[in-house]
Structure 1
Amino acid sequence: MAGEGKRAGSRRAARPRPTFRPRLLLLAVGVTLAVVAWGYLVYAAIDFGSSARSGDGGAWAFLALASVGAIACLFLGLMMIARLLRSLGITTPPPSAAPAVDTADELGPGTPPAPRAPGGRRAAR
């Protein structure tokens, strides 16, 4: 009985065929390289820090460079992960917000904003 009628058909669309997307592969390789570089730089910063504390004055500069490099690699890796997740469709871009219009600016400087209705948006309906 469920297979009869003019709207009787499959309730699901056909699954799209998976295709090779080189951009996703490039992002995945970039994330991997950034995370590996971050790990190496953190290890190097720890090593430079221990040698700097033992009296090597030049190790402080290398410690600072390794720390800044590790921060940059981690930031880059996280940004690429966000792009990869967006490309895969796991996350969605934020809704574009319209700029808020400030009525006090339209009325002139020094004019206080209009009082808000008590109760919020639902109560105002």
Structure 2
Amino acid sequence: MLLLLALGITLCVVAWGYLVYAAIDFGSEARHDNDSQAWAYLGVAAVGAVACLFLGFMLVARFSRAMGLTQAPAPKPKRDPAAPKGGKRAAR
């Protein structure tokens, strides 16, 4: 499991780097030639880079949980049914 998570993180980082490089290239081409197709490719590459970075961060979180570096949050205590619902404002 750890090996698959590490491989996924690596692939996401490599894909992110490639997409950032492609977005920079498309952006310079779009500004130089004022090409609308290059602007569209720039947008697609930028959205793809954001998605890869987000997925990479999610995999890092799962990796750290699997390694035992982090743990799940403590469960919220059940609400007392006798207590009034709402906060101070609702109790007025």
**TMscore range, shorter length:** 0.7 to 0.9
Tell me which of 28, 37, 47 is aligned to 1:68.
Answer: 47
- The number of residue pairs the alignment matches comes to 87
In structure 2, what is the Cα distance between the partners aligned to 1:79 and 1:61?
Answer: 27
- Between Structure 1 and Structure 2, the one with more helix by share is 2
Tell me which of 26, 40, 43 is aligned to 2:18.
Answer: 40
In structure 2, what is the Cα distance between the partners aligned to 1:89 and 1:37?
Answer: 27
Amino acid at match of 1:94: P
Structure 2: where are the runs of 5+ without partners?
A: none
Tell me which of 52, 55, 76 is aligned to 2:30.
Answer: 52
In structure 2, what is the Cα distance between the partners aligned to 1:99 and 1:67?
Answer: 43
**TM-score using structure 1 length:** 0.63
Displacement, 1:113? 1.5
> Residue 74 of structure 2 aligns to a residue in which SS?
coil
Amino acid at match of 1:37: A
- Which segments of structure 1 move beyond 3 Å, counting only runs of 4 or more? 98-102
Q: Percent identity?
A: 55
Tell me which of 78, 84, 89 is aligned to 1:103.
Answer: 84
Displacement, 1:99? 5.6
Displacement, 1:112? 3.1
Aligned CA RMSD, in angstroms, stands at: 1.9
Amino acid at match of 1:57: S
Specify which structure has the bigger relative contact order, considering alpha-carbon pairs within 8 angstroms and separated by 6 or more residues.
2
* Structure 1 residues 90-119: Cα deviation after superposition (integer angstroms, max 9, x where no partner): 1111111136567246xxxxx8325xxxxx
Displacement, 1:29? 0.3
